[in-house]
Structure 1
Amino acid sequence: MPATDLSLLIDAALEAGKIATRYSGSEAQRWDKPDGAGPVTEADLAVNAMLEQRLPSARPGYGWLSEETEDNADRLSRDRVFIIDPIDGTRSFAEGSRTWAHSLAVAENGVVTAAVIYLPLRDLLFAAAHDQGATLNGEPVRVSQTNDVQKADILAAKPNLDTRHWRSGQVPEFKRSYRPSLAYRMALVAQGRFDAMLTLRPSWEWDIAAGDLILREAGGVCSDRMCSPLRFNNAHPRLNGVVGAGPDLHPLLCAQLDPAGTGIDA
């Protein structure tokens, strides 16, 4: 990883925040994507246009994968690729909420090496680079050391509590919390404010690439719902869910997940 990749992502994320906050959330023009793929606003497209011009220009040898750019196979031949969600939490943005984020990452040979999650309206900038630790607004962050599932505070949407996801149909009695941005959920676990996060449905790479590195560099473990390591820049850029937690809690959660539950919407 070039030493300047992280600073490049930080500068781009800060510029993305300036662009997105020029729009007034619920008043921003909005469209629904085909096939139930969710909403997109003029702010998403404006941020994406800036990032798609700025980042590949700075790293012409890198591939490009973004939620708001039509995908093509060119990125699969590149060792390094940008993985971008211009606005993670578009529904929240369109509702006028403060809880949405810019999620920017670089992956090298399938492994994320630099990452930023920036929430401009909350003044929170999470960042990480390979073997350099994770930070929030420049200060180091670490995952919690909770090692009891029943005492854990876990970020998860309600469908994750469907009994079909869990062995013997028994859902662990953890405390459930929720935040609308998946990237932000991962960052909050890295910060230690929550003990774990999980989403048990197929998840797009751009939603989770930055959070994967930030959580791991904060001392946590991040995997898919089968508890296998996450690999990025796949031909179909969707992964089999996400489980992120501290090093003691992660295997305990994995032991209670039912592999046969894969594919249930959560």
Structure 2
Amino acid sequence: MPATDLTLLLSAAQAAGDVAMRHFKTDPQVWDKADDQGPVTEADFAVNALLADRLRSARPAYGWLSEESPDDGARLGTQRQFVVDPIDGTRAFIAHSLDWAIALAVIEDRRVIAGVVTLPARGLTYAAAYGQGATLNGQLLCVTQTRDPATAQVLTTRPNLAARHWQGGAPPAFATAFRSSLAYRMCLVAEGRYDAMLTLRPSWEWDIAAGALIVTEAGGHATDRTGADLLFNAAHPQVNGVIAGGGVHPALRAALS
């Protein structure tokens, strides 16, 4: 059941956070991924190894998708899957910023049924199971009900504000902010600290799966850039951008071209 999976994810996230913190601010070895996919550190690999051992040994029938593991496609034939980002926000981790996260999710029938996003350096753990609400360190979360994009606070990046993306050639005059981790951005929306987040680039499943459930269980919406439902465990594990928000989500979607 989802609650059992959530308990497993929480336990694994705690252990993974301990491993990551042993590497944090120690300047671990860094490599550049192929195809301009960004940096990866020995901490990413160490966390990935721990999670693979903990989660796959506990649920050997579940498929596996991780940013730091080769994807052989075997997950496509399984009923449930783990979707894992060992360190979301590796650049922040390297820069000694606190804004990196570990994101874990369980998928069933292409939907997220359990998710955890933990920020060990901040002492924050966001969690949700389908139909059971979302929490931060055990306290229930709720999105904001702001409806006017012009008065909203939105987590996004400058390229998403380009005229070509918006009806009328310009975005609404919302205030913007940034965090390195996509998973953390989604959780901040679930927490009600920001009204929405959006990214218009193709987004990897491991960055957004856990956060998508946390937002929706906090009463919000998480869709692709067209407003379509987010579906996971795709053969090519990317979605067409992400809009996550509370009351402002429909208006933000309508404002996009």
Classify the TM-score, shorter chain.
over 0.9
Instruction: Name the CA distance, whole Å, in 1 between partners of 2:67 and 2:229.
Output: 22
CA contact (8 A) 2:67 2:206 kept: yes
- The answer to whether the 8 Å contact 2:2/2:114 transfers is no
Residue identity in the other structure for 1:173: A
Question: Residue 26 of structure 1: CA displacement?
Answer: 5.9
**Alignment size in residue pairs:** 257
Summarize the Cα distance change of 1:2–1:180 in structure 2 as closer, same or farther, 3 Å threshold. Answer: closer
Map residues 78-89 of structure 1 onto 2, 5 A cutoff.
78-89=78-89
2:251 counterpart residue number:
252
Preserved CA contact (<8 Å) 2:186 2:212? yes
Whole-Å separation in 1 of the counterparts to 2:218 and 2:76: 29
Contact kept, 8 Å, 1:26 with 1:95, in 2: the verdict is: no
Cα shift readout 1:90-149 (whole Å, capped 9, x = no counterpart): 000011111100000001010000000000010000000000000000000100010111
Q: Are positions 1:129 and 2:140 aligned together? A: no
* Contact 2:2–2:113 under 8 Å retained in 1: no
Shift in Å, 1:234: 0.1
Which residue is equivalent to 2:170? Answer: 170
The residue number in structure 1 matching 2:205 is 205
Q: SS in structure 1 opposite 2:96?
A: coil
CA distance in 1, matches of 2:25, 2:211: 24
User: CA RMSD, aligned part only?
Assistant: 0.8
Separation in 2, partners of 1:89, 1:253: 25
**Which sections of structure 2, spanning at least 5 residues, go unmatched?**
none
Identity of aligned residues (%): 58
Task: Judge conservation of contact 1:26–1:93 (CA < 8 Å) in 2.
Answer: no
Contact 1:66 1:84 in 2 (8 A): yes
Which aligned pairs between 1:44-193 and structure 2 lie closer than 5 A?
44-193=44-193
SS in 1 for 2:54: helix
1:16 matched residue in structure 2: 16
- Any gaps of 5 or more consecutive residues in structure 1? 259-266
Give the ranges of 4+ consecutive aligned residues of structure 1 lying more than 3 Å apart after TM superposition.
none
Name the residue aligned to 1:3.
3
Asked if the contact 1:83–1:104 (Cα under 8 Å) also holds between the matched residues in 2, the reply is: yes
Q: Answer whether contact 1:62 1:81 (CA < 8 A) is retained.
A: yes
Matched to 2:64, the amino acid is W
Shift of 1:168: 2.2
Describe the SS at the equivalent of 1:69.
coil
Instruction: Give the residue type in structure 2 aligned to 1:64.
Output: W
The one-letter code matched in structure 2 to 1:172 is P
Residue-by-residue CA offset, 1:149-179 (whole Å, 9 max, x unaligned): 1000000011110011101212110001111
- TM-score normalised by length of structure 1: 0.95
In 2, the alpha carbon distance for the partners of 1:2 and 1:167 equals 40
Alignment map for 1:203-242 (pairs within 5 Å)? 203-242=203-242
Give how far 1:65 is off: 0.1
CA separation in 2, counterparts of 1:103 and 1:2?
16
